[in-house]
Amino acid sequence: MTDPQAQQGPDRTRPTEVDPTVAPTGARRRWLVNGVKIAFMVAVVVAGAFYIAGKWDEVSDAVRSMDPLWLVLAFLAVVGALVLSMLSWIVVWPAFGVRLPLARGGRVFFVSQLGKYLPGSVWPIAAQAQMAGEVGLARSSSIVLSLISMLVSIATGLGVGAVLVPFIDLHLLEAYWWLPIVGVAFLVCLTPPVMRFGVRLALRVLRRPDAPFRYDWRVAGSSSGLQVGNWLFAGVQLWLVLIGLGVDPARSFVPAVAAMSLAFALGVLLIPFPAGLGVREFVLTAVLASVTGPGVAVTAAVLSRLLYAISDFAIAGLAVAVGRRS
């Protein structure tokens, strides 16, 4: 006689056996990822704190002698520049089929940008790749998006600087005659056909999977236009600092915009220097030499960097706090 329980099939009330190695492996991976995130944040905060503390002695006397209004206005200009830079990055996302909400995009962008305070320009890209994966973008696509954003930043910075340098000092153009050539070359790279070809070539060299995207003239124009606005606000920030240091406002506006755009662009190109350390100060001092002495130019450069460092960490902290609430 057949057992009725055997006819009913296996007992479905019995819990399914689980491979004991699967759960611990997943848990270890989560712990490892979280550990890397915490280590990254601790490293950038420590690096930023040491940087600010190390530079404060150089500018403390100048800060005490300045009207605080100029520093407050310069800080607001930095915030405007950073927001425009973030928007320039966000408008590229639809090219990969993803529309990122502004709040989440700000958290990813501003937190990942803290990696620039570590040696090597690859840290922001690595952080963006990790965080972008959490909001629905494939890792290969996030790397391409970061490369596009970096190229837009460099190209527009060199382009703005190259256009303005002849209006500052012709002798400066003679010494750096290669700037317009490099600027035009990078601007050509922003055209959709060249950008698509360059990205696919870079992926092959890096042996990364192809990341389909639609980088058209609309995306290129929006991203580049917002970056130009970023350089304008960055220049206004340096201009306000120079006014606070007693430099003639009428003669220093164009040099300030040119100096900031060139300093940031060349700082990103030189990868081993964290946040363009040293490179930015050298470029700012060279461009501002036509309107002020080297001492004031160096002080303005250091003050500008401190304002950017404080703004970077403040906005990143605010973005994280808002992200947790939402």
Residue with tokens 């382009």: 159
What lies within 8 Å, CB to CB, of 291 at 6+ separation is: 242, 247, 248, 251, 252, 255
User: Residues in the chain, how many?
Assistant: 326
Give residue 56's pLDDT.
57
47-56, 74-83, 256-265: which has the minimum mean pLDDT?
Answer: 47-56
Q: CA 260, CA 288: separation in Å to the nearest integer?
A: 10
8 A C-beta contact, residue 213 and residue 253: no
Tally of domains within the chain: 1
Question: What would the pLDDT profile of 13-59 be if each residue is shown by its tens digit?
Answer: 444 444 454 445 555 655 555 555 555 555 555 655 555 555 556 56
Identify whether 177 is part of a domain: yes
The rounded Cα 192 to chain-centroid distance in angstroms is 22
Identify whether 55 is part of a domain: no
Identify whether 114 is part of a domain: yes
Dihedral in degrees, nearest 10, Cα atoms 106, 234, 153, 301: -110
Query: Which position has the higher pLDDT, 42 or 69?
Result: 69
pLDDT, the chain, mean: 76
Give residue 274's pLDDT.
47
Identify whether 48 is part of a domain: no
Residue with tokens 């601007």: 187
Q: Taking the model in full, what pTM does it have?
A: 0.76
Give residue 168's pLDDT.
81
Identify whether 172 is part of a domain: yes
Identify whether 162 is part of a domain: yes
8 A C-beta contact, residue 186 and residue 151: yes
Among 151-160, 179-188, 274-283, the range with the most confident prediction by mean pLDDT is 151-160
Average pLDDT over residues 122-149: 71
Identify whether 270 is part of a domain: yes
% pLDDT > 70, the chain: 68
pLDDT band at 12 (very low <50, low <70, confident <90, very high): very low
Domain that holds residue 87: 71-325
For 193, list phi and psi in degrees, rounded to 5. -60, -45
Give residue 80's pLDDT.
95
Identify whether 56 is part of a domain: no
Query: Which position has the higher pLDDT, 175 or 321?
Result: 321
Among 4-13, 63-72, 97-106, the range with the most confident prediction by mean pLDDT is 63-72
Give residue 198's pLDDT.
78
82-86, 109-113, 242-246, 321-325: which has the minimum mean pLDDT?
Answer: 321-325
* pLDDT reading at 98 higher than 80: no
